[in-house]
């Protein structure tokens, strides 16, 4: 899995060579050169190619922002696929965590992994038309049962 470089490692009042940037973020020099081709500003076209720290930080921040994706209320973010997904078959289970909050649990249609999203119970009304939500049924208590268990010792 590729790691994302942290833009805060770049010092804004410093100039970096391609090798310095590669060592700073633990990436290959060709990766830094592809960033330059992609739009990372350099000082000039002369050798050695120098990159301002402020430009490097700004470039990495905008690149990181462009990769972020916002989920719609009925979508759940899949960590494996790195995409907001509609659950497989539009079916989710709701597990309450307390009286107001709960977790929607579904399956990713792409990778078949489990996807979760914490949701407020009141706002579930917004997504009921889009998703088929299954609510858990509470188990009966023993004292509420009309028939005793078969393995009980009540018969004397």
Pairing of strands 91-96, 15-17: unpaired
Please tell me the predicted confidence (pLDDT) of residue 43. 86
Reported pTM: 0.54
Checking phi first, is residue 51 left (phi over 0); if not, alpha (psi -120 to 50) or beta? beta
Structure tokens at 130: 């889009």
Give the distance between the most distant pair of CA atoms in the chain: 100
Q: What is the mean pLDDT of residues 91-105?
A: 88
Please tell me the predicted confidence (pLDDT) of residue 1. 38
Share of residues in the chain with pLDDT > 70 (%): 87
pLDDT in tens, 125-136: 888 888 888 887
Structure tokens at 153: 């010792």
- CA distances in angstroms from 145 to 87, 154, 155, listed in the order given: 37, 14, 16
Structure tokens at 126: 């917004």
What own/partner pairs with CB < 8 Å and gap ≥ 24 does 121-125 have?
121/96, 123/73, 124/94
Please identify, in words, the CATH class of the domain defined by 7-67.
mainly alpha
Residue 97: partners with Cβ closer than 8 Å, 6 or more residues away? 103, 118
Please tell me the predicted confidence (pLDDT) of residue 107. 92
- Comparing 29-33, 87-91, 131-135, the range with the smallest average pLDDT is 131-135
- 120 bridge partner residues: 101
Q: Is the peptide bond before 52 cis (omega within 30 degrees of 0)?
A: no
Pairing of strands 76-78, 114-120: unpaired
Structural domain boundaries in the chain: 7-67, 76-134
- By the 8 A CB rule, do 72 and 84 touch? yes
């Amino acid at each position: 899995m590729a790691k994302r470089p942290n833009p805060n490692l770049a010092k804004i009042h410093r100039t970096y060579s391609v090798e310095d940037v590669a060592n700073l973020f633990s990436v290959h020099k060709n990766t830094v050169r592809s960033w330059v081709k992609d739009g990372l500003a350099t000082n000039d076209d002369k050798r050695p190619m120098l990159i301002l720290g402020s430009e490097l930080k700004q470039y990495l921040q905008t690149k990181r922002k462009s990769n972020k994706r916002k989920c719609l209320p009925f979508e759940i973010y899949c960590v494996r696929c790195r995409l907001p997904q509609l659950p497989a078959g539009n079916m989710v289970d709701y597990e309450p965590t307390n009286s107001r909050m709960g977790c929607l649990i579904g399956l990713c249609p792409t990778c078949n992994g489990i996807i979760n999203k914490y949701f407020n119970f009141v706002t579930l009304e917004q997504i009921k038309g889009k998703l088929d939500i299954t609510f858990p049924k509470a188990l009966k208590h023993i004292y509420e049962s009309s028939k005793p268990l078969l393995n009980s010792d009540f018969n004397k």
